[in-house]
Amino acid sequence: MRTATSDDYLTSGIAYAFHPHRDTWYSAPQCQINFWMPVYPIVPENSMAFHPRYWSEGVRNGSAEYNYAEWNRTSRTSAAQHIKSDTRRQPKPEEPMELDPQIRLLPPPAG
């Protein structure tokens, strides 16, 4: 389980909101199903955004340099050290992304 905070409270470390990405960039299998639900009431500004344009379009990204085994060995244990900035190598988009239109779901807590 992973948590994320709102309002730019954490910009790095364990619970920060991630940049636009696909979970497969982080070595998640294509068949993996993830569940997301809010624990507290949310508003659009602190909800997860989906960008439908990229559901059928590739995004050049840095996943080729990401090593999941290395990440588990060195980066998971150091997450709490990254309070002000996060210097750990992560796969990110390597081209500008158009984030609109976007879809933001607003389910109730535990919804």
pLDDT, tens only, 48-60: 899 999 999 999 9
What pLDDT is stored for residue 89 in this prediction?
78
Preceding peptide of 101 cis, ω within 30°: yes
The mean of the pLDDT values for the chain is 81
CB-count burial class (<10 Å; 0-12, 13-18, 19+) for 22 = middle
Q: In sequence order, which residues have a C-beta less than 8 Å from that of residue 51 and are 6 or more positions away?
A: 20, 97, 98, 99, 101, 102, 103
Q: How many C-beta atoms lie closer than 10 Å to residue 81's C-beta? A: 11
Name the residue with higher pLDDT: 75 or 2. Answer: 75
- Entry pTM: 0.71
Q: How far apart are CA 88 and CA 6, in angstroms?
A: 21
Per-residue pLDDT tens over the stretch 75-101: 766 666 666 666 777 889 999 999 999
